[in-house]
Amino acid sequence: MEGILIIRQPITHEEFEAMYDLRWRILRAPWNQPKGSERDEWETKASHFIALLNDKIIGTARLQLINQDAKIGQVRYLAIETIFQRKGIGGKLIEAIHLTATNRFLNHLVLNAREHAVKFFEKHGYKVVGEGPLLFGSIKHKKMLIKFARGDLRMQEIIHNLKQSLT
Ligand SMILES: CC(C)(COP(=O)(O)OP(=O)(O)OC[C@H]1O[C@@H](n2cnc3c(N)ncnc32)[C@H](O)[C@@H]1OP(=O)(O)O)[C@@H](O)C(=O)NCCC(=O)NCCS
């Protein structure tokens, strides 16, 4: 893989459209789902992440808060362009999401993993905690969870407080 890989949030309308198109092509089109099925009612409240290789969007993922009191977030729509899968890009997106989650003092993240992706999430600290939904009548999911170590959260708290006292 040649070039510079950048992980960041999308900014422009064009970047958001390219991100949704990637989601659709990887997560919806192979199951004959129409354009638009790759979006839901949480888009404006969630945090979006994109992986850019030489300015082209080749990966994406989304983090949303699902329980403010218990500080639980959910990861959804993780998708990597087919020819760039298994090159570490999904891992980089998950790392960015974990950093954001701990920065926001979230205690847990949950997700529904397609069965072939369970190993990938286990590699990043998630555990299977139950059966997930059956999507489009054929895609089985496992419910997975990661708990952040208190140490990680404590460190994020210290950094946060330091930043506050410096501004
Ligand atoms: C699943 C996915 C997000 C992983 O991202 P990625 O960039 O391909 O993964 P990484 O290169 O960071 O990590 C690779 C590791 O994850 C695991 N892994 C990833 N995809 C896998 C697959 N299809 N089958 C088995 N293990 C897989 C392996 O342990 C692999 O390590 P290895 O290549 O040394 O064996 C990506 O392959 C993808 O977009 N798949 C199609 C859409 C999808 O299923 N999204 C997840 C919905 S829950």
Say how many domains are in the chain: 1
- For atom 17 of ligand 1, which residue has the closest CA? 120
Answer whether 116 contacts ligand 1 (Cβ < 6 A): yes
| CA 158 to ligand 1 center in whole angstroms | 33
Q: Name residues whose C-beta falls within 8 Å of residue 77's C-beta, 6 or more positions apart in sequence.
A: 23, 27, 38, 60, 61, 62
Question: What is the Å distance from ligand 1's center to 163 Cα?
Answer: 35
pTM of the model: 0.92
Could you tell me if the CB of 117 is within 6 A of ligand 1?
Answer: yes
- Residue 22 is part of a domain; what is its CATH number? 3.40.630.30
Give the domain range for residue 129: 5-166
Query: pLDDT tens string for the chain (167 positions)?
Result: 889 999 999 999 999 999 999 999 999 999 999 999 999 999 999 999 999 999 999 999 999 999 999 999 999 999 999 999 999 999 999 999 999 999 999 999 999 999 999 999 999 999 999 999 999 989 999 999 999 987 777 777 778 788 888 77
